[in-house]
Amino acid sequence: MAHIDRRHALVLAAGLACVLTAALTPAGLHGRPVPAWAWAVWAAVFAAALGVFTRAGLVLREALRRVAWLLPAVAVLAVPAAFVAPAGSRLIVAAALGARAIAAASMGAALASWLGPSGLARAVRQWRVPDRLADVFEATLASLTIVLRQVRAMLRAREARRPAFGAWSDLLAAPADTVRGFGRLVASLLLRSLERAEAIEQARRARGGAP
């Protein structure tokens, strides 16, 4: 991870500006045609996100792999909104919504990869937000980092037990079994996260933290 000690706040502000620019660019939901310049904005933000991933130390293939993990969320959360568009323009609106969501989400993921949890927490403190709010934000990032680490470890263990298959390789051949398997993984993750949170809280109180 690249360290930019005195510019965290500036980098975070610039990244969030890119995210908002992509997210607020019109995508034709109100019956108006998708403007041609909107595609250029989304392409520019997506290219910038790939550049930020590169600055974070990732090769292009790994950056695209991380973006690919965002596609299911984009397909489920953003694209169905195209059904409220006029019948003749739903396809182009769905494509525009997908492009808008993937551009904004990619920049957010790239920004998090570059700054990391400590960099994000430092940037928020450099913004001079109230100390209590900054403490809550930092604790949230620490908890999310632990959860993501646990997810990666569980996925590696799952693939190690089935070396001929990837995490999603059976989704088309056996969708019910695949979804059931990931349901068990999520349940196990919840239990492990609760155990980890309890251990962290006990350690905090052992160091003299307030109950």
pTM, full prediction: 0.71
Rounded-to-integer distance, Cα 134 and Cα 6, Å: 17
Structure-block tokens of residue 179: 């979804």
Average pLDDT estimate for 7-21: 90
Q: Which of 159, 152, 120, 150 is nearest to 138 (CA)?
A: 120
Give the rounded percent of residues in the chain with a pLDDT score beyond 70.
84
Average pLDDT estimate for 77-97: 83
pLDDT in tens, 99-148: 999 999 999 999 988 988 888 888 888 888 888 888 888 878 877 777 77
pLDDT in tens, 183-199: 777 777 777 777 777 77
Structure-block tokens of residue 127: 């913004």
Average pLDDT estimate for 29-43: 89
